[in-house]
């Protein structure tokens, strides 16, 4: 596993949306909820949570779509590039003040090791499992 870069950078597929993060990630994980499956077109999404205050994004093709989670019931604002359709990040009421970057949008994610796997009860039976240290049938439970 590679070392965490000094600054996280990322972009959409066409490069119309770019971002930088001047802070270390707070959390990383894999989500199997049905909305993440639909947004990514795959059986899960891999995310990296970073502080909203350290996140800087640019690009005039950034748009969002709000979903009401079939699994968790909360509104999630999902940001994507209208030029190429790439999902870039999400804002979830379950993680206030945290940007949930889509791992595929990060320029170098070779250091990433998901720390949690959530909504396992929605996982496709044929989907690989990540054996992350924290496993939740639903989402993480508040303390």
Query: Which pLDDT tens digit goes with each residue over 86-113?
Result: 999 999 988 889 999 999 999 999 999 9
Residue 25 and residue 79: Cα distance in Å, rounded? Answer: 19
Whether 1 and 110 have beta carbons less than 8 Å apart is answered as yes
Report domain extents, the chain: 8-125
> What are the distances in angstroms from CA 29 to CA 32, 58, 83, 92, 132?
10, 25, 27, 14, 8
> Which of residues 68 and 110 earns the better pLDDT score?
110
The CATH topology of domain 8-125 is 2.170.150
Residue 127 and residue 124: Cα distance in Å, rounded? Answer: 5
pLDDT of residue 99: 98
DSSP-based helix, strand, coil % in the chain, nearest 5: 10, 40, 50
């Amino acid at each position: 596993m590679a070392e965490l870069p000094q600054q996280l950078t990322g972009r959409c597929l066409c490069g119309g949306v770019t971002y930088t993060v001047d802070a270390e990630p707070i959390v990383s994980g894999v989500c199997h909820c049905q909305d993440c499956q639909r947004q990514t077109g795959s059986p899960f999404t891999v995310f990296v949570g970073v502080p909203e205050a350290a996140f800087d994004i640019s690009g005039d093709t950034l748009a969002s779509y709000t979903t009401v989670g079939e699994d968790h019931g909360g509104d999630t604002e999902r940001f994507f590039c209208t030029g190429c359709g790439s999902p870039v990040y999400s804002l979830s009421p379950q993680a206030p003040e945290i940007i949930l970057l889509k791992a595929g949008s990060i320029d170098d994610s070779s250091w990433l090791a998901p720390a949690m796997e959530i909504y396992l009860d929605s996982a496709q039976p044929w989907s690989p499992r990540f054996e992350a240290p924290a496993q939740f049938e639903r989402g993480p439970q508040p303390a």
